[in-house]
């Protein structure tokens, strides 16, 4: 059927399918010449023919004859082709398209009508193409490469010298998706230029009420470290200069692109830039600040979180580097700081994917994967400390004995000095200890911390010199509680708090925001979520593959909200076999595993003194799950005072304390008493019932979804929720010790939150939820 010309040359390929009933799968890949039914299609070396890549498009079915030249498309959006998802094979994406349908129109000019007109197209999936009002092509299915399809004689008649119109409709049902179409001369096939690079993330119109009030003067003004507090600090949030350069550039830019509002990331609405950072680029920050004389004190420059790698310079001198995007770090800048004006520059690289720990961030946001976050995304601040100072406190408690133990880390020449710890109940001192190393204070008639009575004791920790003079002093707090497990009368393992059985009931909480992305718009906004969940009758939160600002855990501590804390996840996954026998681990190189463990240690070290945190979760499902037994044993040994759920919903290995299953939309558990008898059984995720609220969607044009499909109305949505609760209650009677409902809020295309993404619409009132949740019971007794 095909005759291939012998003058083939390596390096250029095209796919040709004859329009006359040749099946889509009968494609022949050739290089420079092809004869089809005796007609010679000659392709000289890539003619420099202009490609029209500018389109108007809509994602909603247009009214009227949208394919006609007279149709008014002024209200359609404008962008560059092709359209689709970047992980579609063979795609050159200029504009993200993730809905089921797209309608496209573009105008192009022909100096002369080609003698052998054809369409150069790549479609995934069904496509129909119109030229000047007449349909010239309709194809079912999908392609994986660009193809050349000749236009028949009737189609050629539609072409004219001068202005022409092409209109295209593409429909997608699953998998990859992409559409790009160009009119070409089949004798002179042009090389398609690279797609216009996507530099802008999707910018939703959604904004929270707190985000609407953010300014450069009020952006995150609260002290960021509640469990190690000092008065002498300086907030560096606000407007910074920014620039984006090639990654190879190491010198500080001479030209700056504009202002970015720290601590909001480059991609966010609140940051004021709205730009995607490519792996081939570096993001630079700069600001000046004034400091008072140090008077013999040290100056610490503190970053609560920067995603992902950064180098920091003060007054032109490098002060340090950091890798890891989710936990705090500090640099001693005493040697380079000066009285008066100072200059700080931060250089950031962020590849987002690969082996990097990133949580839900991806380069190609879709479905359960969200917009990437680059650069500074939590508070930056300065602090003056003494030459010898308290660098950290590790606080542990024992409910049975009523004790608080404080282990201070001291830096400096007086690191062997005495430490005085005073415990206060309100303003009243109730105990103290003085000495070196670990100090334990027994509290008479101690009031224990629990969700029903989240009592906190205030701590004053003072470093003294040999003469008893104060060298350094910090404020902290502690909640006395003990976490454990025990068997009920039916032999099922249950969670305990302060020796009492407690059913853990809470939402999957991802901590994303439409205006700040990973950064809450304000401390008040962040606390609102916790307060609302508490009011709705939840007693715990599963903080899902995100480490929040430290003040988040402070709010959980004071409000009485238990936390399951996930480690931030990565890619490079094993086969996901859930709770089946013979699980597999992903094969991670030593270097990448070591970085994973370093970031896990940093997370635990940062958060281990918070009474609200009761469970560590190193892996979610099978995302980056590797060396599971080793990671699980390490975590158990690292913090024996908490329980370990080694892989929530992931591949089950017999390590840690918990066996965790995910099931959508309704909860169910594959009970196997022989295998799981030594583990607490939990429903780590279920629900995800979707309910879209008009005018409160991240993107009304995209495929907004929930598990089990979307309900017909609000009543059906509520009934689905009630059904899940009933099933969870039945599972609890069979031994399930916790339930995690997906989720607190809508997030981007997911509309399965209990409230909308902008937190403006509550789908089921908190009071109504609290009454529904009473059937689950199981709160810990206040002691």
Contact criterion met (CB below 8 Å) for 406 and 459: yes
* Helix (H/G/I), strand (E/B), else coil: 729: helix
User: Is the pLDDT higher at 561 or at 778?
Assistant: 561
In the beta sheet, which residues pair with residue 127?
A: 139, 170
Contacts 24+ apart (CB under 8 A), 601-607: 601/638, 602/324, 602/327, 603/326, 603/327, 603/547, 603/565, 603/567, 603/568, 604/635, 604/638, 604/639, 605/392, 606/327, 606/328, 606/547, 606/550, 607/547, 607/550, 607/553, 607/565
Contact in structure between 324 and 336 (CB atoms under 8 Å): no
Each residue's pLDDT tens digit, 468-527: 999 999 999 999 999 999 999 999 999 999 999 999 999 999 999 999 999 999 999 999
312-340 pLDDT, tens digit each: 999 999 999 999 999 999 999 999 999 99
Structure confidence by residue, pLDDT tens digits, 355-409: 999 999 999 898 899 999 999 999 999 999 999 999 999 999 999 999 999 999 9
* pLDDT reading at 416 higher than 80: no
**pLDDT for 414:** 67
**At a CB cut-off of 8 Å and minimum separation 6, what does 312 contact?**
301, 303, 318, 319, 320, 321, 322, 331, 344, 345, 346, 347
Say whether pLDDT at 582 is over 80. yes
What is the band of 415 on the pLDDT scale with cuts at 50, 70, 90? low
Report whether pLDDT(20) > 50: no
pLDDT tens per residue, range 737-765: 999 999 999 999 999 999 999 999 999 99
pLDDT surpassing 90 at residue 4:
no
Predicted local confidence at residue 87, as pLDDT? 87
Work out the pLDDT band at 125, boundaries 50, 70, 90: very high
Confidence at residue 209, expressed as pLDDT on a 0 to 100 scale:
98
d(CA 305, CA 746): 24
- The 3-state DSSP class for residue 532 equals helix
623 contacts: CB under 8 Å, gap ≥ 6 = 545, 569, 570, 571, 573, 650
Does pLDDT of 25 surpass 80?
no
- Does the pLDDT value for residue 24 go beyond 50? no
d(CA 589, CA 570): 13
Range 360-374 burial, b when 16+ CB lie within 10 A, else e: bbbbbbbeebbbbbb
Of 329, 356, 333, which is closest to residue 344 (Cα–Cα)? 333
Identify the weakest region by mean pLDDT among 40-44, 214-218, 553-557, 665-669: 40-44
Where would I find the beta strands (DSSP E) of 304-364? 306-307, 309-314, 317-323, 329-332, 340-349
Report the distance separating Cα 715 and Cα 670, nearest Å: 30
The rounded distance, in Å, linking the Cα atoms of 190 and 53 is 13
pLDDT digits (tens, 9 = 90+) for 693-738: 999 999 998 889 999 999 999 999 999 999 999 999 999 999 999 9
What pTM value is reported for the model? Answer: 0.90
Residue 776 has pLDDT above 60, yes or no: yes
pLDDT at 139 > cutoff 90: yes
Q: What is the CA radius of gyration of the chain?
A: 30
Query: What value does the mean pLDDT take over residues 167-196?
Result: 93
Q: Helices 590-607 and 628-638 sit at what angle, rounded to 10 degrees?
A: 30
Cis amide linkage into residue 125, ω under 30° from 0? yes
Average pLDDT, the chain: 91
Pick from 267-276, 626-635, 671-680, 711-720: least confident: 671-680
Count of all residues that appear for the chain in the document: 783
Tokens representing 308?
């992902």
> Mapped to the 3 state alphabet, what secondary structure does 605-632 carry?
HHHCCCCCEEEEECEECCCCCECHHHHH
Is the confidence at residue 665, as pLDDT, over 90? yes
Share above pLDDT 70 across residues of the chain, in percent, rounded to a whole number: 92
**Amino acid 529: pLDDT:** 98
The confidence score (pLDDT) of residue 674 equals 77
pLDDT at residue 440 above 90? yes
DSSP 379-401: -EEEEEE-SSEEEEEEEEEETTT
**pLDDT of res. 777:** 66
Give the model confidence (pLDDT) of 45-99 as tens digits.
333 347 889 999 999 999 999 999 999 999 999 999 999 998 899 999 999 998 8
Alpha-carbon distance values, 526 to 331, 488, 511, 513 (Å): 27, 36, 8, 10
Beta bridge partners of 383: 233, 300
Q: Which tens digits make up the pLDDT trace of 612-640?
A: 999 999 999 999 999 999 999 999 999 99
The confidence band for 417, taking pLDDT boundaries of 50, 70 and 90, is confident
Structure tokens at 685: 């995720």
| pLDDT for 296 | 86
Tens of pLDDT, residue by residue over 197-230, are 889 999 999 999 999 999 999 999 999 999 999 9
Q: Are 219 and 263 in contact (CB under 8 A)?
A: yes
pLDDT of residue 109: 94
């Amino acid at each position: 059927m095909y005759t291939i010309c012998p003058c083939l040359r390596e390096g250029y390929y095209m796919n040709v399918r004859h329009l006359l009933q040749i099946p889509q799968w009968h494609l022949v890949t050739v290089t420079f010449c092809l004869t089809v039914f005796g007609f010679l299609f000659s392709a000289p070396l890539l003619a420099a023919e202009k490609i029209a890549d500018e389109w108007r498009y809509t994602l909603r079915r247009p009214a009227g004859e949208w394919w006609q030249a007279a149709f008014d498309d002024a209200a359609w959006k404008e962008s560059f082709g092709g359209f689709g998802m970047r992980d579609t094979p063979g795609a050159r994406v200029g504009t993200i398209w993730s809905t089921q349908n797209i309608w496209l129109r573009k105008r192009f000019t022909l100096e002369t009508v080609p003698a052998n007109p054809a369409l150069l197209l790549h479609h995934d999936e069904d496509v129909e193409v119109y030229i000047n009002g007449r349909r010239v092509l309709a194809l079912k299915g999908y392609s994986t490469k660009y193809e050349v399809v000749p236009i028949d004689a009737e189609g050629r008649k539609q072409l004219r010298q001068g202005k022409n119109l092409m209109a295209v409709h593409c429909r997608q049902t699953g998998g990859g998706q992409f559409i790009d179409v160009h009119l070409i001369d089949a004798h002179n096939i042009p090389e398609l230029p690279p797609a216009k690079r996507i530099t802008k993330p999707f910018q939703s119109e959604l904004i929270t009420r707190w985000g609407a009030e953010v300014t450069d003067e009020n952006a995150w003004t609260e002290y960021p470290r509640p469990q190690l507090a000092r008065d002498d600090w300086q907030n560096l949030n606000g407007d910074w200069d920014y620039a984006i350069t090639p990654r190879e550039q190491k010198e500080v830019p001479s030209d700056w692109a504009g202002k970015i509002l720290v601590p909001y990331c480059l991609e966010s609405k609140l940051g004021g830039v709205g730009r995607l950072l490519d792996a081939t680029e570096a993001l630079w920050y700069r600001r000046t600040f004034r400091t008072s004389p140090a008077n013999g004190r040290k100056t610490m420059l503190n970053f609560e979180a920067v995603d992902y790698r950064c180098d920091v310079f003060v007054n032109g001198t490098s002060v340090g580097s950091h890798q890891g995007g989710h936990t705090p770090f500090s640099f001693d800048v005493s040697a380079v700081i000066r009285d008066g004006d100072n200059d700080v520059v931060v250089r950031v690289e962020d590849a987002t994917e690969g082996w990097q720990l990133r949580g839900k961030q991806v380069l190609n946001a879709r479905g359960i994967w969200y917009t990437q976050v680059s650069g500074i995304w939590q508070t930056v601040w300065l602090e003056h400390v003494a030459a010898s100072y308290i660098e950290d406190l590790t606080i542990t408690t024992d409910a049975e004995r009523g004790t608080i133990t404080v282990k201070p880390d001291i830096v400096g020449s007086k690191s062997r000095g005495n430490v005085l710890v005073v415990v206060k109940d309100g303003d009243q001192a109730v105990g103290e200890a003085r000495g070196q190393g670990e100090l334990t204070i027994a509290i008479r008639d101690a009031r224990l911390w629990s969700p029903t009575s989240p009592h906190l004791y205030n701590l004053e920790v003072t470093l003294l010199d040999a003469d008893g003079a104060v060298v350094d002093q910090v404020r902290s707090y502690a909640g006395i509680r003990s976490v454990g497990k025990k068997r009920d009368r039916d032999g099922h393992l249950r969670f305990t708090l302060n020796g009492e059985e407690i059913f853990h009931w809470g939402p999957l909480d991802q901590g994303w925001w439409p205006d700040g992305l990973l950064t809450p718009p304000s401390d008040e906004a962040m606390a609102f979520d916790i307060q609302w969940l508490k009011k709705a009758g939840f007693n715990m939160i599963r903080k899902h593959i995100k480490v929040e600002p430290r003040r988040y855990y402070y709010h959980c501590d004071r409000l009485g909200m238990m936390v399951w804390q996930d480690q931030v996840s990565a890619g490079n996954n094993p086969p996901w076999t859930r709770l089946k026998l013979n699980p597999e681990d992903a094969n991670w190189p030593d270097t990448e595993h070591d970085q994973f463990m370093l970031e896990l240690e940093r997370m635990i070290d940062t958060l281990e003194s918070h009474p609200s945190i009761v469970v560590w979760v190193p892996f979610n499902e099978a995302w980056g799950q590797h060396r599971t037994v080793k990671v699980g044993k390490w975590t158990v040994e690292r913090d024996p005072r908490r329980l370990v759920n080694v892989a929530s919903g992931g591949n089950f290995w017999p390590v840690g304390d918990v066996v965790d299953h995910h099931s959508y939309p309704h909860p169910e558990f594959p009970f196997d008493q022989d295998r799981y008898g030594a583990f607490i059984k939990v429903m780590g995720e279920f629900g995800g019932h979707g309910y879209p609220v008009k005018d409160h969607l991240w993107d009304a044009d995209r495929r907004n979804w929930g598990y089990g499909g979307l309900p017909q109305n609000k009543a059906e949505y509520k009934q689905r929720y009630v059904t899940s609760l009933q099933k969870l209650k039945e599972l609890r009677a069979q031994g399930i010790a916790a339930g995690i409902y997906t989720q607190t809020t809508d997030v981007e295309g997911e509309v399965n939150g209990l409230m909308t993404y902008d937190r403006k619409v509550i789908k089921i009132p908190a009071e109504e939820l609290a009454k529904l949740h009473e059937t689950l019971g199981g709160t810990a007794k206040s002691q």
